[in-house]
């Protein structure tokens, strides 16, 4: 189903060749394709779209007990999103290497994220660390916080 | 501004202690806080929210020439999202280690993503690889594709 969504997305000119389906107890909670270019959203990968749709359906920010079927091994953004969602298992068709051969940056991003920050191609710089810690101090003592 | 957004988000009980601001040529394009629990969306980190808002404002799926100011070093999801957005530079206040000490999984996720897939705590399994490659073949030959 995820593969069919991916191919249909290309054939209809709606976005990249990626689809994802989220299932719990045999029920399909979400079935989404990539919509980066159609919705002007670089985060709108199939897995992210499916996580958002499944969470909206469940009215929950976690997907415990859910399995994710995706047409391609998740990129680092989607893999981390899947961890944050607390889903159970990921099943995938194509690999990150297949995606790279089709022109996508998945393998490059895995290499970048494995590097120490100072060696990555995107510059990142720490600033105002003494001021920034105040946000976490507020969090630690907040009476109304909802952990996630 | 990103730090102030993060602290305000906690003090108003709206979500986690994270804020992000995207700037281009001295103009603030987006200023967003974490909304995971409020919007039931585990992908709604401050950086992802800011990327989505800035892209909506620019009606573009890329953020060339944009700098991102975030109250905390991006988690792997947000870091990869920032790469996908093609933004220029990231400035951050707290570190992933600070986030871990405040109860967030950032450091754990960096460790997980650096592991070979088979050693990660979230099970992932390849299936239907021969069928899945059809999506990329459709992409390679598509006349209406928009590269991203």
Among B42, B51, B136, the residue with its CB nearest the CB of A94 is B136
Residue B1 near chain A (CB below 8 Å)? no
Q: What is the pTM of this model?
A: 0.96
Q: How confident is the model at residue B113 (pLDDT cuts 50, 70, 90)?
A: very high
A118-126, Cβ contacts within 8 angstroms, sequence gap of 24 or more: A122/B82, A122/B83, A122/B87, A122/B89, A122/B90, A123/B88, A123/B89, A123/B90, A124/B73, A124/B74, A124/B89, A124/B90, A124/B91, A124/B92, A125/B89, A125/B90, A125/B91, A125/B92, A126/B73, A126/B91, A126/B92, A126/B93, A126/B95
Determine the residue among B30, B40, B80, B137 to mutate to test chain A binding: the one whose Cβ has the most chain A Cβ atoms within 10 Å: B80
pLDDT in tens for each of the 148 residues of chain A? 999 999 999 999 999 999 999 999 999 999 999 999 999 999 999 999 999 999 999 999 999 999 999 999 999 999 999 999 999 999 999 999 999 999 998 899 999 999 988 899 999 999 999 999 999 999 999 988 999 9
Residue B81 near chain A (CB below 8 Å)? yes
Predicted complex ipTM: 0.96
For residue A144, which residues of chain B lie inside 8 Å, CB to CB?
A: 13
Check A142 against B90: CB less than 8 A apart: no
For residue B92, which residues of chain A lie inside 8 Å, CB to CB?
A: 124-127, 132
Determine the residue among A97, A115, A129, A136 to mutate to test chain B binding: the one whose Cβ has the most chain B Cβ atoms within 10 Å: A136
Please provide the average confidence, as pLDDT, over all residues in chain B.
96
Check A124 against B89: CB less than 8 A apart: yes
Give the catalytic positions of B in this structure.
47
Among A109, A138, A145, the residue with its CB nearest the CB of B83 is A109
pLDDT at B114: 92
Q: How confident is the model at residue B105 (pLDDT cuts 50, 70, 90)?
A: confident
Q: What is the mean pLDDT of residues B15-32?
A: 98
């Amino acid at each position: 189903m995820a593969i069919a969504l991916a191919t249909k997305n290309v054939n209809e000119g709606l976005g990249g060749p990626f689809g994802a389906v989220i299932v719990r107890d045999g029920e399909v909670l979400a079935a989404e394709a990539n919509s980066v270019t159609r919705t002007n959203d670089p985060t709108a990968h199939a897995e992210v779209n499916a996580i958002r749709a499944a969470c909206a359906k469940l009215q929950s920010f976690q997907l415990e007990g859910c399995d994710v079927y995706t047409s391609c091994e998740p990129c680092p953004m989607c893999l981390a999103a899947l961890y944050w969602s607390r889903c159970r298992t990921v099943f995938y068709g194509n690999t990150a290497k297949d995606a790279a051969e089709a022109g996508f940056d998945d393998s490059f991003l895995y290499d970048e994220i494995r590097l120490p920050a100072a060696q990555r191609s995107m510059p990142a710089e720490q600033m105002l660390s003494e001021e920034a810690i105040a946000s976490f101090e507020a969090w630690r003592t907040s009476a109304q916080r909802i952990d996630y």
